[in-house]
Structure 1
């Protein structure tokens, strides 16, 4: 996923269908410098992690 699209999704009040390793996730924020996103699975908000933007897929 590109940096700009990830930022748009993170800022939007509308839920986007974004997948990480086969799991639907929520993007909390984007680190433009490192090209990573702070995410968590929708059903497990306690499992927050930072991942590469390249590993995210919008469906």
Structure 2
């Protein structure tokens, strides 16, 4: 995922369907310098982790 789109998703009040290793996640914030995102699995809000933006996948809802 590119940095700009990740920032848009993190700032949006609308939940986007984003996955990390095929697991649905919530993007908390973006570290532009390191090109990482602070995320957590939707079903495990206490399991926060920093991951590369390139490993996030947005799934468009039809």
Higher gyration radius (CA): 2
Q: Which 4+ residue blocks in structure 1 deviate beyond 6 angstroms?
A: none
5+ residue gaps, structure 1, are: none
| 1:1-59 equivalences in 2 (<5 Å) | 1-59=1-59
5+ residue gaps, structure 2, are: none
Equivalent pairs, count? 59
TM-score by length of 2: 0.94
TM-score by length of 1: 0.99
